Amino acid sequence: MAATQRIETHPHPSSVYAPIVAMALDDAEMHRAGLAFLYRIVPVLVATILYGIYIAILCVATRGLWQRGLRARPNAVILIVLYVVSCLSTALWALEVAQLIGLVDLLLSPDGLSTNALFNRFYDLIARETKVTGVLFESQMIAGDILVIWRVGAIWFEKKIVVLLPLFWWVLMIVNMLIHSARCQSGVATTNYGELCKVTDVAAPVLSIVTNISVMLLVLWKAWEIRDTLLDVLHRRKTNKIFTLFVLMVESGTLYVVMLITDLLVTSIVTGGNETVGRMVDCIWGYAAVQLVGIYPTLLIVVLRESVWNSDYADSTQGLAISTVQFASHNATAVRSTTQSPESHVERGKGNSYEHVSGGATGSRSRDLHEVVHLGDEESQLSGKKKLGVALY
């Protein structure tokens, strides 16, 4: 009590702290304020750690693309997509930090309001950003899925029509985002949303899950078609088999699907009031999911060189039908011509020459970035005598 009297009779320059200090430590409102701050700062700390990891991975991906050369259009497009995703992730992270700062500011400058009034103002502040955060998150998923769909298009180079399946769901994601941004308003709690807004909120991650499941099924289908060759490659590789499988799960979208399904389960199952452990867990996972959605496509570009599809065993006795994505160095100069023969193969390194098969014509070209597939026809795959290097664009 004495401490309280000193604060009231002798104002200090830091008197903005007085309303909180004046509250007894066992006061219910003080307890609520402390829990609210704790349950908000923990999710922000988790998101900040993941954001730091994300920036580190983005730097590695940027360095790799820069070294391979940005004159090649695919390299430049990939880099642009990565930075669009990173800008969206940064905006969402900044909003999360701003909300925490807003809570601290309200607690330190209550303006004579009661604790209930302060928290009502804080949750109104969050509600006003509901539409913005929703649209940003949906846009982030849409941009990230571009690279996943691009990857499956490279694997199914000889039958690109199958890529229309994930593209269909991806277009629905865009439509869902446009409806959400046009019809749903901020300034109200999500529990008071109209039915349309509730549907678009749930549909956003569901459509992304379906998109990536379709990608995963297409990759597994291709892997099953060439399972003998893939198993041979796995046995020959000297690198860690677990890491190779991890890379395969990354590029097939499996880990991404697991993450988004977990996000839906957590937000559906975990319930509780605003200042409860359940709400904190939900908030932690929601903030983490935002950064993981950004990390995923960036990690895909980083680990691509270790992909099981990127095999060096072109001289395998089996007809090799493995799609690989090769990024050439910026100063690629040497070009070695290849001729049509049973032993034709792809020259890796600075030259990046390959045998180009198009309408029966065979030639040699050089690209800064190209996708190379050692592909034999059905008969040659059975006999294991003929392999062709097919250039993709």
Distance separating alpha carbons of residues 133 and 126, to the nearest angstrom: 10
- So what's the pLDDT on residue 238? 66
DSSP-assigned states of every residue in 200-247: HHHHHHHHHHHHHHHHHHHHHHHHHHTHHHHHHHHHH--S-HHHHHHH
CA distances from 99 to 16, 75, 91, 113, 364 (A): 20, 36, 12, 19, 57
- So what's the pLDDT on residue 143? 93
Helix and strand totals (H; E) in the chain: 13, 5
Distance separating alpha carbons of residues 200 and 208, to the nearest angstrom: 12
Tokens representing 178 are 């446009």
For the entire predicted model, the pTM comes to 0.69
The position carrying tokens 């949303």 is 193
Sequence-distant (≥ 6) Cβ neighbours of residue 349 within 8 angstroms:
334
Distance separating alpha carbons of residues 164 and 147, to the nearest angstrom: 15
Instruction: Please list the rounded mean pLDDT of every run of 10 residues in the chain (393 residues).
Output: 43 43 51 78 93 95 88 88 95 92 81 75 78 89 91 85 93 93 67 72 90 91 84 73 80 86 83 73 88 92 77 40 39 39 39 34 35 34 32 30
Q: Residue 11: enclosing H or E segment and its boundaries?
A: none
Beta bridge partner(s), residue 364: 355
DSSP-assigned states of every residue in 288-320: HHHHHHHHHHHHHHHHGGG-TTS-S-TT-SSPP
DSSP-assigned states of every residue in 235-266: HH--S-HHHHHHHHHHHHTHHHHHHHHHHHHH
Distance separating alpha carbons of residues 19 and 221, to the nearest angstrom: 64
